Chains A and B, each alone.
Chain A
Amino acid sequence: MPRSTDRAKVERLLWRAGFGGRPAEIDRLARTGVPKAVETLLAPRGPALRGPAARIDGAPLDPVNAWGHEVLWWLDRAVRTQHPLVERMTFNWHDHFATSNDEVGDTRLMMAQYWTLRRGALGRFRNLTRAILKDRAMQRFLSLANSEKGSPNENFARELFELFTLGVNNGYTERDVREAARALTGFTFDWRTRRFGYDPDKHDDGVKRILGRVGRFTPQDVVDIAIAHKAHAPFLVEKLWGYFSPRACPPKMVRSLARTYVRANTDVRPVLREILTSKLFYAGLNEPDMVKPPFVYVAGMLRLTNTRVDDEGWRWRLHQMGQVPFHPPNVSGWEGGTAWLSTSAIRARFDAATAVLRKTVKDGSVSSRQTPQQALASALAATGRPRVSPRTAAALRRYAVTSVKGRTDRWEVEHYFPERQRVLRHLLLAGPDAQVC
């Protein structure tokens, strides 16, 4: 048996760097120790997915041709992934390079972007940003396509500095944005044929001054210049840290992570290794303080209960919780943190647990001989043995006793014993402990 501390650390690791771990998975990784568990996440092997794919009304998903199926498609991947960090980082990069199909209006392009993000999920950030520069969904979203010399569109240039590489007002000026926009001209999009391209005649090949450097820069040069800027590494590593911990990254740690990042030539893998093995990442194991993002919460709940995505309602539930993949609210991505815990979002989380549990425990299916301890054990087994705080455990034990006390009539046994099981499972999936990791 793994030590309980290692188990708790791996449980956190799998929630923050993935979509939650099944009990056997946690035990297996905990036995190897945290450093090896992190290595397993950083270099996964074997098939990326396991189990049967999602089906709606008996038919496979049709993500390109049916509205909302692209959301279910990603959710299904998160539920079935065996490469959790790759999938989670793909989602983190989707937040970082936030692009919405509400404006792109082309699911095929959004899914192509998914694969671009996934290919670059654990690789060099420079390569990923270069790929995003050429990504067609992004070119549509930030009006990079059809930005021409003489009238360059500044959207992409601004977000490249502000959101993607440097941070708001962090080492660049308005003039840098304007000059970068000139260098980024030349990409084309034909509305009629829907073809993308690059036309050198539409590119401004004049001399530009960007972040202190002067030259006849091309679009790719702009990415490279931004990434070579001294403000970039601290900005990016702090942003990465924020995806894994709600605690402020101490300045010393930012410096260390930035050094690692620069030495690794913008490879994020060593940075992630440093984050995921740091003491601070595992601080407060008994009082988790990171709110699970809705997408992670839902995927994890389905994963731990072995529930297949089989219902179009998951798109709507994610919407109610405030996080629909392929549809971030704006180019800044999702706000996250305690913003996920509005009254209506919590209600939606409760409803999600109800949807998972529907049809699982029917009236008349539980014997009156089931003890409170057995009831709790059964509920824990059915919900993937989630972490339960001592306070919650005490409350659940109390409920397991009082909820069926004196219920001896046949109809009462048929209803209240299963009801106890339904409530216990529901509280384990949607109670306060389940919201954090």
Chain B
Amino acid sequence: MAMLAMAVPPPQTVPAPPARVLAFADEFHFNTSRAVVRAGRVILQVKNIGEDDHDLRIKGPNGVARAETGRVRPGGLRQIRIRLPRGRYTYLCTVADHAERGMTGTLVVRAAKKTPRRR
């Protein structure tokens, strides 16, 4: 019995695919595909469907910027890959007065699911 137990390899964790969020940017809104994601790796894409340049900066619960896309030209697409612990994040466009005009939003990051294990 003990021999059998020793023969079984230890369980391997299966890395969950990164959570994806797609934000469409135009004058002067963000339309994000979801407002809530699980904690962990996140791929955040910004597609500019407007006529002006836009960008997206995401700030942590403490107000500190975590990442930003850099300028996205009209028609362009950029993405950032970040690891986000649980918390309430805000995002905004830092171009000119776009944030004041409405280009802001909130992303809630919930606790990660228990990682499934594979034998």
| A residues whose Cβ falls under 8 Å from a Cβ of B | 57-59, 62, 64-67, 102-103, 105-108, 191, 194
Contact = CB atoms under 8 A, between A and B. Distances in A.
B80 to A, nearest CB: 13
A60 to B, nearest CB: 8
Given A106-B31, A191-B29, A64 B22 contact: yes
A105 B50 CA distance: 10
A66 B21 CA distance: 7
B20 A105 contact: no
Given A64-B33, A65-B33, A105 B21 contact: no
Residue among A57, A62, A64, A105 facing the most chain B CB atoms (10 A cut-off): A105
Contact of A65 (B20, B31, B75): B20
Interface in B12-32: 17, 19-22, 24, 26, 29, 31
Contacts of B84: none
Contacts of B79: 67
A102 B22 contact: no
A107 B17 contact: no
Say whether chain B's binding surface is mostly helix, strand, loop, or mixed. Answer: strand
Q: Which of B22, B24, B49 has the most CB of A within 10 A?
A: B22
Nearest to B16: A59
Contacts of B77: 67
A62 B45 CA distance: 13
A65 B22 contact: yes
B33 A102 contact: no
Contacts, number: 38
A284 B19 CA distance: 51
Interface of A: prevailing SS: loop
Contacts of A102: 49, 75
B111 interface: no
B5 to A, nearest CB: 30
Nearest to B45: A67
Contact of A105 (B17, B26, B34, B43): B26
B60 to A, nearest CB: 21
A105 B45 contact: no
B36 to A, nearest CB: 12
Nearest to B75: A102
Given A59-B17, A65-B22, A65-B33, 11 more contacts: A65-B19, A65-B34, A66-B22, A66-B45, A102-B49, A103-B49, A105-B24, A105-B49, A107-B22, A108-B33, A194-B31
Nearest to A57: B17
Nearest to B19: A65
A67 B29 contact: no
Give me the 10 closest cross-chain CB pairs, A-B, nearest first.
A105-B24, A59-B17, A65-B20, A66-B20, A65-B33, A105-B49, A67-B45, A62-B20, A64-B33, A65-B22
Contacts of B49: 102-103, 105
